[in-house]
Amino acid sequence: MQPLLRDPATALADLRALHAHLLVSGHAADPHVQSGLVAMYAALGDAAAARAAFAEIPRPDVVAWNAMIAGYVHVGRSREALMLFDRMMREAGAAVVGEATLVSVLTACAQAGALDQGRWVHGFARGHGMRVSVTLGTALVDMYSKCGAVPAAMEVFDGMRDRNVYTWTSAISGLAMNGMGTECLDLFKRMESEGIQPNGVTFVAVLRGCSMAGLVDEGRACFDSIKGKHGVEPWLEHYGCMVDLYGRAGCLDDAINFIKTMPVEPHEGVWGALLNASRIHNNVELGKYAMEKLVAIESENDAAHVLLSNIYAESQDWKGVSRTRSMMKAKGVKKVPGWSAIEADGKVHEFYVGGKSHPRYKDIELMLAEMNRRLRLQGYAANTKEVLFDIEEEEKENAISLHSEKLALAFGLIVLPEGAEIRIVKNLRVCRDCHDYTKMISKVFNRGIVMRDRNRFHHFKEGVCSCRDYW
């Protein structure tokens, strides 16, 4: 285990050397050694090497199965983790599935937004008489929260006999990411009253909850209590949350003064929050200032460049847009392609912006046309401000219509039963047009829609979003 005690790059090199030695000596064929190699590669984040070692095992034991599933989760490859769990159930049987397996699978479900599979895991645990330990219960709270099923998360939380700081923090964070700022604060106060000492992650969750809900005074009081009341030294993330809190609420002077008085050097999170605030309040000069500071730290931040481009576009400063795009090109900065995922029939379906490779794309195309037809009757007009400026308006509308969340939404309307809630996970921040579009879809098609983007959850119902357009 010595390689794991060193830095990851050195540890990985040492492990590969050890693996080569084991192959030469013939010991690599030992089942216990094979399982150990899978576990070590997975722990070091080399999923490909872990999978190659796993493939060499004729009959993987529970250690190998668990290590490989956990390895996929560790690097964010949730779909592979869930597929491997299905294979584990078929080949090894339910008898070998323990708490460690379920915790990894629940984490994969949380990453993918796979609520149905997460519910199945919860049912499996109950059906096999597994006690909801602190670890399993916390994983369940996290899964339900990150799938937007807050009532289910709180039901698990309230039903747990034992809870630690991670359980409380997971529940508080779940309320925060779902925009339930007041409830987030109430749970934090309950945590304090029960004598549970919050940690740094807890305060990040509470401050985000305040930011999402525009609770400036409450957020300021929470920040002041981090060190003053709880004796915890504020993290860089806490400072970033405060800038975000002030910026979202339009307190731009407070945000700038806060940055100037920080006892530590502002990091990319602080400048990113200020850049986002300048977009929300259409402050071009502040956006340029925040961007200059940000690229000095993180020159290839694609999201920041796109955000600044959108600020210019909304101000109809096309020269600014052009300069930003040229800057991206010169630096080799590429925009991360947008994708959205939706769970249906026990599978997670992924859609990429403009993608036409899904087996049911013809049906999706027809549904998109019907969606657009019905929304236009309600007065919908595409918001093309955030689209590239150098294409015609008609092309802009076409580009927006193929955003990944709209493809996923159309697929959901096709395959999910009438009245069933549609749940979508998006890797990027939802654009304004898609946000307005989804609000109208929820009303016109009478569907509840839950969308998790890079920043938060949006719960759409009857033409209204839970964020109240405060995002």
Domain segments of the chain as ranges? 339-465
| Nearest residue to 89 via CA among 101, 75, 78 | 101
In angstroms, the CA 438 to CA 372 distance is 11
In angstroms, the CA 285 to CA 274 distance is 11
H or E segment and range at residue 394: helix 393-401
* CB-CB contact of 276 with 286 (8 Å): no
Could you report the per-residue pLDDT of 283-313, keeping only the tens digit for each? 989 988 998 898 888 777 777 778 788 788 7
In angstroms, the CA 452 to CA 147 distance is 8
Could you report the per-residue pLDDT of 89-132, keeping only the tens digit for each? 999 998 899 999 999 999 999 999 999 999 999 999 999 999 99
- pLDDT grade for 383, boundaries at 50, 70 and 90: low
Burial label for 250, CB within 10 Å (0-12, 13-18, 19+), is: middle
- Rounded to two decimals, the pTM is 0.85
pLDDT exceeds cutoff 80 at 22: no
Could you report the per-residue pLDDT of 1-11, keeping only the tens digit for each? 344 445 777 87
Select the more confidently predicted residue: 58 or 248. 248
